[in-house]
Every structure is written in C-alpha cells, then in structure tokens.
Structure 1
Amino acid sequence: MPNKSSFLTDELKKHFGFDTFKGNQEAIITSLMEGNDTFVLMPTGGGKSLCYQLPALLMPGTAIVISPLIALMKNQVDAMRSFSEVDTIAHFLNSSLSKAAIEEVKADILSGKTKLLYVAPESLTKEDNIEFLKTVPISFYAVDEAHCISEWGHDFRPEYRRIRPIINEICPRPVIALTATATPKVQHDIQKNLGMQNATLFKSSFNRTNLYYEVRPKTSTIDRDIIRFIKQQPGKSGIIYCLSRKKVEELAEILRLNNIRALPYHAGLDQSTRAANQDAFLLEKVDVIVATIAFGMGIDKPDVRFVIHYDIPKSLEGYYQETGRAGRDGGEGKCIAFYMHKDLQKMEKFMQGKPLAEQEIGRQLLLETAAYAESSLCRRKLLLLYFGEKYTEENCGNCDNCLNPKKLVEAKDELCAVIETVSALKEKFKPEQIIDVMLGKNTSTVKTDAQDELEVFGCMQGSDSRTLSTIIRQAQIAGYLDRDIENFGILKLTAKGKAYYKKPTSFKVVEDNDFSEEEEEQVMKSGAACAVDPELYNILKDLRKKMAKRLELPPYVIFQDPSLEAMATTYPITIDELQNIPGVGAGKAKRYGEDFLKVIKAHVEENEIERPEDLRVRSVANKSKLKISIIQGIDRKIGLDSLAESKGLEFSELLDEVEAIVYSGTKININYFLDEIMDDDRQTDIFEYFKESESDDLEAAIDELGNEYSEEEIRLVRIKFLSELGN
C-alpha cells in the first residue's frame, strides 16, 4: 500500500501540481481504482472533482461523467484541458453541440484520446448515444451532483432515475456518486436508485468553519440593504440567488445603475449569453452574478466572498449547496439570507398541481427551511443536525445567533408535555400534528383519529405553535426526540427522551426570532423605522399632509410612504434625482416635487449631511418596454382583457403594471374600458370612497366595499382615481 500511495501522490503532482491529497481524496481514489462502487459526501470546496478526474487519467478506457448542467460541463472540461497538453483529453456531449462537433467528439473517444466524457442524463438516455457507448471501453461512471437523483434533494430530476438501467445496458462498470449535500434520507434514496447499496461510503464533515451565516428580515428596503452590503465589500466577488427570472433581471439592472458590476444568469437566457456571463464572473470582469439556482453547481471559483439569498430557498439542501459556493479557498465567506413568511406561502402555491406526494415532500422541506430561518439557535448546529452530523460546541462564534445570543427560558414542563403527547399518539405523527393536539385544535386529522378524546388533548392550551415548535426542535438537538426521515418526518422518542420523562431535569431553550406577518407589515409600512433619517421623514410627511389639504387630495395620491422613506434615506435635491426614487416618475416629480426638494435641501444644509453615494439607490427606469407598450395599448383604447392576453399576462398582473404606471405619475385614461363593464353609479361609489379614505389600501377597500364590488372593479376605479386626481 505505501507504494500505491506514493504512486498516487506522484501522479497527483504530475497531472494537477498538488503535493498532497485533501481529506479522504486518496482513499476514495484507491477504492474506485480497486473496482468498488463508491459514494462520496463532501462539502463544496472539498475537492470532489479530483476524486474521479485522477482515476480517469490513470485507468484504461474513458470515464463517463454524468453531470446536470451544460455550464458545469463546459467549466469542468475547460479545467481538465488546462491541466493537459491536449484538448482531446476531455469532451462533453450535449444538446449545445452541432452534428459535426458530435462526430468529432466520437472520433476522439474511439481513438482512445479522451479520458473523460461529460454527458447530461438526458443525453445518456438517447438511443444513438447508448449504441455508441456500447462500442467504447469504459473505465467507470461518475454521477456528479448525485442529490439530483433524489426527490428529497433540492433539484429533483426524473432523468437521473434511469441512470442505473442504462449503465446496465451499455456496460456495467464501477460507479462513483458524488454530492456536496445529502441528508440520510437523500443518501439512502441515491444509493437505492443507483443500485449501489453496498458502496464504500466516504463522508466528510459538513462543517464549513469559515462561512458566516445570517438571516435578516425581508422588508421593503431589501434592494438598498443589498447595495449597501455590496459597497462595503469593494472588489469582492459574490452571488445573489433569486427564485424568479424576472427578479434576477430586475436586480441585476438595479445593481448596474448603482455602479455595481453585475450580470444576470438564468435558464431563460440564450446559451451564449449564459456562457458569456459565467465567464465574465470567472474572469472577474464583473463582481456579482444575480442568478436562479441554475448557476453555480461545480463552478470552480475559489474566492466568492459572499452569497446572498434574496428569497429563502425551497430546502435546506439547496441553501447549504448554494452557500457552499462562498469561501471555497478557506477564506472569508458571508452567507446572508432574507426571509419573510409570504415567500413560503408563494412557494406553497407554486406546488399546487403537482402530485400529492410531491406536494407533501415540498411542504416538509419548506417547514425545515422556515424552522432554520426563525430559530435563535446556532445556525451551524441546525444545519449539521439536518445532515445527520452532531456539532458539540455551544457557540460557533460565526453566525448571527451566536454573535447575538438570546436569553434562555425554562421549558421542562413543556418538554414533558411534548414527550407525553408523542407517546400517547403512538409515535405516528409529525410535529405540526403533535402541536395541534397539544393546543386542542380540532383539525380533520385530530377528529378522524379521535385524538380529541385523549387526555393530552389541549394540554398546552394557551401556549402557541411557535413556542412548541421551538421546544420540539431543540429537544431533537438535545437527543430526546428523533425524526423518522423515511416517513415524512414523524416524531419518535429516543431512549434518552423516555428516561428524561421518568426523571425530568432543567431544560432551557432559546426563544425563536419573531418574523410574524404583523411585524413585517409594520416594518414595511412604517417608513420612519425604515428611513435612515426619521426626522426628515416626519418633516416630509407633514409637508405632504399640508399639500394634500391645499389640493383637497388624500396624502397617498401625492407620494406614497415608501417614496417618502426613500427620500429620507437618499436625500434627492434635483428633479433628476427625485425621479430615481421608487414610485416617482417624471410626471409626479414635476407636479409635486419642487416643495419636497426645497425642504430636503434645507435639511441637508442645516445638518451638514453628506449624501453618501452608497445609499442612493437608483431604480430601474419606470417605463420599461412592457409598460410603454401597455400605455400605447390604452391610448389606442384596446380592452384591458385583450391587452393582458396579448402580453401573456393574467388580468391581475396587467393591473399590477398599470398601477405601477399611475403611481409613478403617468396619466392614463381607462374610462373607455370602465364604461363598458361598469355603470356610472358603481364607478362613482368606489371613486368617492377613495376620495374620502385616508389610505389607498386594497384590503381596507375590499372590507368596506367588497360585498357589492369585485376586487378587480375596485382596482380599476382606484387606477382611474389616482390618474385623474394625482397625475
């Protein structure tokens, strides 16, 4: 074995220039070269790729690397070619290649020049590729990003499920499966689907000590918060993940307007743009990539210094995988996630229409993510627990919760009640169902199973579900409870938990962070709390009130609260600067802006305020192509329903766009459409309501008018009102 070890070390130096292996790399390579199926769990940055690249160079034949993304294949093929004297050493085979290029690749493989062939699972399943690979001497198969196999992983790919049968059809050879993120459940799922239950398992610690984790409340100031954060990291590389392509495009544009070198990346861009944007990031022509989760798998950029989640991810696997792209060189890596309840509700809506089992899995994963975001416990401890690893330190010193610890509260009685309820329910239910019984909630499950007749029913009436969730989560960490991952997270009692119930001792827990809707609403609506300069905010509010009285308009018609809040943060003193404030277009700026600018200028001079560039958030021009074409359509008196259809929008989405147009100060006339669908009296009723109301809040209007009028009617008349009186 020493000889083999020195041989591998020599080959490592010769091909890759490294003097020593990292972690388990050498043992993994040895296992694969001895013909064993091998399963590798290793965090991002641990050197997974080398575990199949070096054996591929040393073993006879071509290694088939099954990889999920075209961008990832290109990146890895480029990397392999950079280590070799010839480009033929590595190729990829996917839908991006022309027929001539495919023939060239096949010729290189058949001549024995190619040691690594990267294929997408979709390419592997094509009949002509299967027939071709039957003629190729294959050294082994590597399944990269193997969590894609599992429906419990963060990116379920049905094509991955067909890999084993196709391998059997082409030519059975050893399989190495690699992933940077897998819970015990996902690990089991991968091994089962690849038919490698007897694989040699190599599991490295998931603890990335250099990464700092933080969760912040997501409020209306998020764009400004992100700009301020990035400007405090001059010249550093970062990735911002958003859930939607639209948000990716918008945010990348806002960052560019604020002098941050940023580009978008998502699956909706054409392939050449995606590749160019990825290369610009790798070559440091830009500092920031704004992306959907399509970006980053296996991207070998060691010095990403921050990863921001604009939206909380759908699962902790996804979160861990994406944050893992920071600090791969062992240096600084800041991981900031923005969180609000409404994002989770939106994601639940997206799951509607999927099979019920898939919805159930998706809901479980979302619950885990919410629990992580809201917890006041060490974030490192929670993440590692999720991946089946125990972290014994009390304080990691590198997450927001450990740097700002909350006080502990006694929960001995509550824990005993939880243990008793889990036992009374025969260890057959999930945490949320346990909590329903403890709170005495008569849900359909509770009634069906006659749980309302149990002695424990309502034993914690008067408590709240958030507190009980906290206790259950922290009892898991303490080892009193366990979750059965094979059965959607059903709670089980451990021997330690049963012993505790017989002889309880003090059990102190940390209260969770409060991200309640009410607080979010308040933060988002209370401009004074969000504005950098509350004094100026209040001055502007008074000015708006006086102006509204003089013009006999509701104050919100002049400028909305978020616009005042932005003025009290960025201090605009010219009409051009005022037009960069969210919700202020050219019309509004000219009509109402002069008095506001005078007040802001005086305040800046009196208080000798420096107007910092990094706080001046320049927003994307209000009149995007879509908005301009909507205005033109309304000018031509096209019915709004037809207009929505022609733009590929739902009617409510069209109204969102039209509202944004009138709120920014552009006058439009939709009377032609209103007169067609509503009589004058109905229009007048709603119009008068908004004239007398202190707020343009839609929910308040629906509460007041909703029995008589539909939400769409109220929104349409509100648009007419704002346009006629405000613009």
Structure 2
Amino acid sequence: MSTFASLEEALKHFFGYDSFRPGQKKIIEAALKNRDLLTIMPTGGGKSLCFQLPALLRKGITIVVSPLIALMQDQVDALQDNGINATYLNSTLRNDELKSRQIAILKNQIKLLYLAPERLLNEKFSLFLEKVVNSVGISAIAIDEAHCVSEWGHDFRPEYSNLKLLRQSYPQIPIQALTATATKRVQQDIIQQLNLRSPDVHVASFDRTNLHYEVQTKDRNIYRKLLRAIRAESGAGIVYCLSRRSVEEVATRLQYDGVDALPYHAGLSDRERSNNQTSFLRDDVQIIVATIAFGMGINKPDVRFVFHYDLPRSIESFYQESGRAGRDGEPSKSILFFSLGDRQKIEFLIKQKPDHNEQKIALQQLRQVINYAEGNDCRRTIILRYFGERYRGNCGKCDNCLNPKPIEDWTVEAQKFLSCVARCQEKFGINHIVDVLIGSRKQKIFQYGHHLLSTYGIGKGRTADEWRMLGRSLVHQGLVGQTTDGYPILKLNKRSWEIFRNQLVVKIAVNQHQTKTSATYNPRKAEAELLFEKLRKLRKQIADHNSLAPYMIFADSSLKLMAQIRPQTLTDFAKLSGVNEYKAHQYGDSFISAIREFTEQHKLPVNLPSKSQMTTLQLHQQGLSVVEIAKQRGFAVSTINSHLSELIEMKQPVALNKLVKAERQKIIIKTIEQVGDMSLKTIKDALGDSYSYNEIKLVRGWWRSQK
C-alpha cells in the first residue's frame, strides 16, 4: 500500500468511492494482515470489495472461488470496466483463450483470478498453480458464497466440500470465506470444513436501511394492484411468484399491458433462461417475473423494487429475495402481497412432504412469515429479530412506521396473556393460548383440562384476532420468548416477569390509521430527475456498444450525483463518488457533453472555473507554455490542457491561437461539424495521426463555447 496514503485513497483510485460502507474497512485491514477471515455480510453490503481491494494492494494474485459461471463473468466484467486486471478460467473458454489467459497470469498481468471449485482442485490444474506460486505468488484465496460448503447451509453444494483440501495444499496462504447469510451453526461448520486458523469473524448488521418494507392485502384485484405498483416505480424490478404457471400468467399479462417483462423459471430451456436474465441485467426489459429459481448469481445492483406476488415460504427466503433490491444502497422497495388463501396453498404443499420433521420446520417457517405479514410492529424489527439482531423500532421506512397505528396501553391484557402462558406450563403456542383466553370449546382445550384453568375465558372482552395481535407483538418486542425447533412454543423470560410486577408497560399498535401527505413540487428536484433519465439513456447506449450491463458503466448513485452537481469539467467529474480516473477518461467526455447540452436547453446556471483552473489561466496569461505550466504546478501536460480546454469552453480569456495554429483549427472544426463533438476518439480517427488529442480538445472547447 506504499503508493497510497490511506485505504480511502486506494478506494477512490480503484473504485471511485470516497468512503467505505459499514464494516468494510475493518475487514480489509484484517485481510492485509494476512489473517484467515469469515465474513458474513448481507446482500448489498459490499462483500466483494472486502477481498478485491486487498488483492490490488498486495503482491501476487488473489484466487476467488465462485460457484456460478454467470456470477464470475459478471464480476470480472465489472472489474475490467474499472481498469482492473481480472480474469476467469472456466469451461466457456476455447483452448486458445485459456492459454492466453494463463500466459497473462504467469507474466504477473492479473491481480484477481476467478475459478469454479472443481477447477481449483483439479489435479492437472494444480500443476499450473504451482507455477503461479513460484513465479508470481498467490496472496490469498477468497471463497465466495461460502455457505455452500456446509450441509447446514441453505444452498449446500457437494463440489464445495472438497475445498477443505485447500489448507493442506496451500498451508501458508490466507483464506477468506464470505457469505450473505449464515446461522451460528453454519458459521462454525464453515470454519471447521475449511480449516480456518483462528479466523477473524465479521458479522455485519442485517439491517438494509435503504429498503422500504410494505405489506398489501391480496384480493381478487391483485393483478391490477401489481400493475399500478409497477407503473408507480421507475427502474428495474423483480416479481416473485410461487409457481411456474403463475410466473407465465403474470409475465404474459404484463406484456399485454405494455410492460417490458420476461419470465424466469426452471421449466424454461437453459438458453431461454440465460437470454431472459441477460436482457434484464442489460436493462432491455424492466421486469423479470420469476420463481425462486432466480436467485444466487444475480449481481444487478440497481434493482429498484421486489414485489412478492405470492407468499414466500420463510423469513430467510423473503429476506434474501427482497434483498435483491437496492444492492447499490439507493432507496428501493419491497412489497409483499398477502392473503390467507396463499397460506392454505403452502400448508397443502408442506403436508405433501413425507418427512414429519421437515413438515414441522416448514410450518413454523410459514408461521413466521405470516407473523411478519400480519404484524403491526415495525417490519424491520420483526425481520432483524429473526436473525437474532435487536432493533430500536420505528425505522421510518416501512408501512407500519410511516402510517402508524394508534398506540395503546395493553399492560393488563399482556398480564392476562402471560399468566395464561404460565398456567399452560409454557408448553403451547399463541393460537392455543388465545383459545383458552376466549373460552373456546375446542376438543384440545378439554383434552388438556385447560377449561379448568383460572385464565379460561378471562379474555372474552377481546376478539381472537386482537389476542393474536397482542401475542405477535409480545414476541416481536422480545417480551416473551418463542422456541425455534419446529413448534413455536411460548416461554416466559425476564421481561415477562417485569410485566407481571408492573415494572414494564406494554404498548402495542392496535389498528390501521392511514394519513396521506401531499407532495410539493420542487423545480430543482424535477430538473435533476429529468437529467438523471437523460444520463440513464446515455449509459444504456454506451453499455450496449460495449456489450456490458449499464450498472457496470456507472451506478445509479453516481448518475444522481451528476444530475445534482452537473459537473462541467473532467476535473470536477472525476471527483464524483463512483468515478475513478480510468472511468473519467473512458466516459467523462460523453457524460459532460450530455450535462452541458441539458444545462443549455434548460438555461440553468453553469459552474464557474475552479481555483486550480484559475491558477492555470493566470500562468497562461503570463506567457508560460503548457509544458512550463505543467512543470511549475507539478501536473501532467494533459491535465493542463484539460484545464485550458475547459476554460475556453467557459469563455475565459485563453489565447487559443498561441496553442493551436489557425489553419489546424479550421480543419478540426470542419471535422467536428461532420462527426459531432461527443467522442474525442471519433474526431481523432477522422483526422488521423497528424493531430493530437490535446489540440483537438482545445479546439473542441472553443467550438462548444460558440453554441
């Protein structure tokens, strides 16, 4: 890291960002100390950067193990578009491509090498890796989607199990395991399977602060609700359905109603699935309608919304699927459409499972999803509690917090409820406790003799739904415990006893009370949104030309900054978050041109020259040449030429005739009139090698100033 004063400086240089996301810096610092690492960071938290940046700051090559070809290709494309030397070796390559990439690796021209686990442990490939170790050196091995190594993980893959041989083959090389979700049991299994040595374990918060959570009632008008919700959003979205039939039906209806949508499910051919996925990643269609088959490997960061048309089977599934929205950290939305009919469908499917224990666990997972859907508490509190993380409540970014229900003191009711839990010897769930409280005549009540309890029928003043609402709220607030071994049995805890002793007041949200706020028109915001859409179209054109997904050019967040700040020079453009030096030179001219055109059309104020540009102008006016100014200021000649061309465009007093001969100016101007001013390379190709980029840039600045 000797060439960088800080990790932040390295981050800006390679990736264009000014600051790290929560947890990233600490993990990177540990990686640079060559420690073994286990990193659990939710989707969208920035896991990849935790091994990519250390790879660029260490000698040698970093090997990245990835389970899916599409995922490794996607990451390599994104790295290469940042000017970073990365490559992959997999079965899609021809022999000549494979050999040329291996030669580049042995010449120390590659910093990140992506491999499938099968290839990494292949005996023949091991001979090549020995050459790599001896000639270049392997700085680290990063295992992405590390939960695949554990049989307790949600996506165990047998080919991952052999990765335990890595420690034996490469005992001195640090290993970093990364995954989005892992219970404590899975974490321990990963450490054991990979033989990690006293690893630094980093578990990031599961809170996706940029996501808005919402639940809407699913009724006979569900499709119309979905269509309205999609039309109210901009950007890409995913609609998850339970069955292939539902996917096809929804996708077809959306297409009929003029929405660019495609289906994705296991019943399609590999080719059709791949084509549909590529169309979605490259913004050729707005919506992908999918079953849960559309999951791992979807590396699209700018999905703005995920709608669950049908009920998911577990909170974990819901969290992972909704978490495909807003991976870039920008505001995004998750809507779950809920009906009891969906619950009955899933219960029917669960009962078809031959294993009784599997049925028991699946039913409990379903109940937790229903508790989320029916809950009046902060949605974020409910989700995070599932993952063992406590949350303060009132996130201000879910439907329950934005449209709060009236809060009432239900301490007396809570004491009755918890007393009934105690009288039933802490052996039953919410539904049975409610039945006892309302004096139900169900056979189960008489079977256990619970009709003889003092709490039998003491809750007749409230409905069963109200008592269930209280039960859920007590669980969500941590005021009563609940087992997780298949049957959700209620257990009294320390806070339960505080309620009994009147040491704790119980307040719950009791019913819906919606308020609507009227939006005020903000001209500046409206202009920024118009420019953002213009820049999105330009990004799509450039991406299509380079056969890339648009988000690989610039993230939505960077486009929004461009639209707000409206940089007029390359210097200012390069300062934006998400723009590194490589991308500034690669795409800067095109985006600045679009911003200037928009600024002129809408008669918006333009930026004044910067302090640095004014210093260059003063030295120019003193008669110094470009080379002399560059030497005196310690800048590159190209930087000074950029200053001067930008000053000319801002109609500042630069003597163009002293910089470019008049007859050459005329030829350059004539060429610009023929081919346009958007691309310097296009102008240069038309003029030939006798004209330099610097003089073209200076004359183009004058030409633009005359518009």
Which structure has the higher relative contact order (CA within 8 Å, separation 6+)? 2
The whole-number CA distance in structure 2 between the counterparts of 1:217 and 1:191 is: 43
CA deviations over 1:398-435 (Å, ceiling 9, x no partner): 32222333334553344234434544566566555666
Residue 90 of structure 2: aligned partner: 93
Secondary structure of the residue that 2:400 maps to in structure 1?
Answer: helix
Asked if structure 2 preserves the Cα contact closer than 8 Å seen for 1:61 and 1:139, the reply is yes
Secondary structure of the residue that 1:474 maps to in structure 2?
Answer: helix
Asked if structure 1 preserves the Cα contact closer than 8 Å seen for 2:375 and 2:473, the reply is no
Residue 697 of structure 2: aligned partner: none
Residue 46 of structure 2: aligned partner: 47
Secondary structure of the residue that 1:83 maps to in structure 2?
Answer: coil
Residue 112 of structure 2: aligned partner: 116
Secondary structure of the residue that 1:289 maps to in structure 2?
Answer: strand
Q: Percent identity?
A: 41
Give the Å deviation of 1:97.
5.6
Residue 402 of structure 1: aligned partner: 401
Secondary structure of the residue that 2:285 maps to in structure 1?
Answer: coil
- Structure 1, 130-139 or 46-55: larger mean CA deviation: 130-139
Give the Å deviation of 1:150.
6.5
Residue 231 of structure 1: aligned partner: 231
Residue 471 of structure 1: aligned partner: 470
The whole-number CA distance in structure 1 between the counterparts of 2:299 and 2:497 is: 48
Asked if structure 1 preserves the Cα contact closer than 8 Å seen for 2:264 and 2:294, the reply is yes
Q: 1:437 to 1:270 in 2, by over 3 A?
A: same
The whole-number CA distance in structure 1 between the counterparts of 2:361 and 2:192 is: 18
Residue 542 of structure 2: aligned partner: none
Give the Å deviation of 1:167.
3.4
Residue 37 of structure 2: aligned partner: 38
Secondary structure of the residue that 1:215 maps to in structure 2?
Answer: strand
Asked if structure 2 preserves the Cα contact closer than 8 Å seen for 1:266 and 1:292, the reply is yes
CA deviations over 1:614-641 (Å, ceiling 9, x no partner): xxxxxxxxxxxxxxxxxxxxxxxxxxxx
TM-score normalised by structure 2 residue count: 0.61
Q: 1:70 to 1:347 in 2, by over 3 A?
A: farther
Residue 611 of structure 1: aligned partner: none
TM-score normalised by structure 1 residue count: 0.60
Give the Å deviation of 1:238.
1.6
Give the Å deviation of 1:319.
1.8
- Structure 1, 66-75 or 157-166: larger mean CA deviation: 157-166
- Structure 1, 462-471 or 11-20: larger mean CA deviation: 462-471
Give the Å deviation of 1:28.
0.5
Give the Å deviation of 1:504.
6.0
Pairwise mapping of residues 580-659 of structure 1 onto structure 2 (< 5 A)?
Answer: none
Asked if structure 1 preserves the Cα contact closer than 8 Å seen for 2:376 and 2:405, the reply is yes
Secondary structure of the residue that 2:313 maps to in structure 1?
Answer: coil
Pairwise mapping of residues 703-714 of structure 1 onto structure 2 (< 5 A)?
Answer: none
Give the Å deviation of 1:241.
1.6
The whole-number CA distance in structure 1 between the counterparts of 2:125 and 2:361 is: 34
Secondary structure of the residue that 1:276 maps to in structure 2?
Answer: helix
> 2:388 corresponds to which letter in structure 1?
G
CA deviations over 1:434-465 (Å, ceiling 9, x no partner): 667767889999999x6759847846675776
Pairwise mapping of residues 564-575 of structure 1 onto structure 2 (< 5 A)?
Answer: none
Secondary structure of the residue that 1:209 maps to in structure 2?
Answer: coil
The whole-number CA distance in structure 2 between the counterparts of 1:135 and 1:443 is: 74
Residue 507 of structure 2: aligned partner: 508
CA deviations over 1:191-223 (Å, ceiling 9, x no partner): 566555953233433333332211112223222
Asked if structure 2 preserves the Cα contact closer than 8 Å seen for 1:182 and 1:387, the reply is no
Give the Å deviation of 1:91.
0.6
The whole-number CA distance in structure 1 between the counterparts of 2:148 and 2:493 is: 31
Residue 358 of structure 2: aligned partner: 358
CA deviations over 1:260-298 (Å, ceiling 9, x no partner): 112223344444433433332233222222223343546
1:175 and 2:171 aligned: no
Q: 1:362 to 1:148 in 2, by over 3 A?
A: farther
The whole-number CA distance in structure 1 between the counterparts of 2:244 and 2:60 is: 41
Give the Å deviation of 1:368.
1.1
Q: 1:280 to 1:464 in 2, by over 3 A?
A: same
> 2:215 corresponds to which letter in structure 1?
V
Residue 702 of structure 1: aligned partner: none
Asked if structure 1 preserves the Cα contact closer than 8 Å seen for 2:76 and 2:88, the reply is yes
Asked if structure 2 preserves the Cα contact closer than 8 Å seen for 1:181 and 1:320, the reply is no
Residue 140 of structure 1: aligned partner: 140
Pairwise mapping of residues 662-677 of structure 1 onto structure 2 (< 5 A)?
Answer: none
Give the Å deviation of 1:469.
4.0
Q: 1:73 to 1:425 in 2, by over 3 A?
A: farther
Pairwise mapping of residues 254-653 of structure 1 onto structure 2 (< 5 A)?
Answer: 254-295=253-294, 297=296, 299-351=298-350, 352-353=352-353, 355-393=355-393, 395-423=394-422, 431=430, 455=453, 458=456, 466-485=465-484, 490-503=489-502, 506-511=505-510
Residue 218 of structure 1: aligned partner: 218
> 2:112 corresponds to which letter in structure 1?
L
Pairwise mapping of residues 166-205 of structure 1 onto structure 2 (< 5 A)?
Answer: 166-172=165-171, 173-182=173-182, 198-205=198-205
CA deviations over 1:473-493 (Å, ceiling 9, x no partner): 322343322345578655443
Secondary structure of the residue that 1:471 maps to in structure 2?
Answer: helix
Give the Å deviation of 1:371.
0.6
The whole-number CA distance in structure 1 between the counterparts of 2:493 and 2:203 is: 25
CA deviations over 1:118-149 (Å, ceiling 9, x no partner): 44567667777778768764543433344556
The whole-number CA distance in structure 1 between the counterparts of 2:459 and 2:96 is: 71
Q: 1:464 to 1:116 in 2, by over 3 A?
A: farther
Asked if structure 1 preserves the Cα contact closer than 8 Å seen for 2:481 and 2:491, the reply is yes
The whole-number CA distance in structure 2 between the counterparts of 1:220 and 1:370 is: 20
Give the Å deviation of 1:55.
1.9
- Structure 1, 376-385 or 269-278: larger mean CA deviation: 269-278
Aligned residue-pair number: 506
- Structure 1, 290-299 or 480-489: larger mean CA deviation: 480-489
Give the Å deviation of 1:183.
5.7
Give the Å deviation of 1:50.
0.6
Asked if structure 2 preserves the Cα contact closer than 8 Å seen for 1:131 and 1:170, the reply is no
> 2:87 corresponds to which letter in structure 1?
A
> 1:8 corresponds to which letter in structure 2?
L
Residue 165 of structure 1: aligned partner: 164
The whole-number CA distance in structure 1 between the counterparts of 2:275 and 2:159 is: 28
Secondary structure of the residue that 1:6 maps to in structure 2?
Answer: coil
Give the Å deviation of 1:79.
1.2
Asked if structure 2 preserves the Cα contact closer than 8 Å seen for 1:438 and 1:456, the reply is no
The whole-number CA distance in structure 2 between the counterparts of 1:194 and 1:414 is: 51
Asked if structure 1 preserves the Cα contact closer than 8 Å seen for 2:227 and 2:254, the reply is yes
The whole-number CA distance in structure 1 between the counterparts of 2:454 and 2:143 is: 49
Give the Å deviation of 1:68.
4.2
CA deviations over 1:557-608 (Å, ceiling 9, x no partner): xxxxxxxxxxxxxxxxxxxxxxxxxxxxxxxxxxxxxxxxxxxxxxxxxxxx
Q: 1:416 to 1:282 in 2, by over 3 A?
A: same
Q: 1:6 to 1:470 in 2, by over 3 A?
A: farther
The whole-number CA distance in structure 2 between the counterparts of 1:189 and 1:436 is: 41
The whole-number CA distance in structure 1 between the counterparts of 2:508 and 2:325 is: 31
The whole-number CA distance in structure 2 between the counterparts of 1:36 and 1:342 is: 51
CA deviations over 1:517-541 (Å, ceiling 9, x no partner): xxxxxxxxxxxxxxxxxxxxxxxxx
Residue 582 of structure 1: aligned partner: none
> 1:116 corresponds to which letter in structure 2?
L
Q: 1:486 to 1:501 in 2, by over 3 A?
A: same
Give the Å deviation of 1:56.
2.6
Secondary structure of the residue that 2:330 maps to in structure 1?
Answer: coil
The whole-number CA distance in structure 1 between the counterparts of 2:187 and 2:289 is: 30
> 1:175 corresponds to which letter in structure 2?
I
The whole-number CA distance in structure 2 between the counterparts of 1:391 and 1:76 is: 33
- Stretches of structure 2 that go unaligned for 5 or more consecutive residues are 514-707
The whole-number CA distance in structure 1 between the counterparts of 2:260 and 2:108 is: 43
Residue 580 of structure 2: aligned partner: none
Asked if structure 2 preserves the Cα contact closer than 8 Å seen for 1:481 and 1:493, the reply is yes
The whole-number CA distance in structure 2 between the counterparts of 1:24 and 1:229 is: 34
> 1:67 corresponds to which letter in structure 2?
S
Residue 525 of structure 2: aligned partner: none
The whole-number CA distance in structure 1 between the counterparts of 2:17 and 2:74 is: 20
Asked if structure 2 preserves the Cα contact closer than 8 Å seen for 1:122 and 1:159, the reply is no
CA deviations over 1:78-106 (Å, ceiling 9, x no partner): 112223365xx221536x56677667766
The whole-number CA distance in structure 2 between the counterparts of 1:445 and 1:103 is: 71
> 1:211 corresponds to which letter in structure 2?
L
Q: 1:254 to 1:426 in 2, by over 3 A?
A: same
Asked if structure 1 preserves the Cα contact closer than 8 Å seen for 2:63 and 2:112, the reply is yes
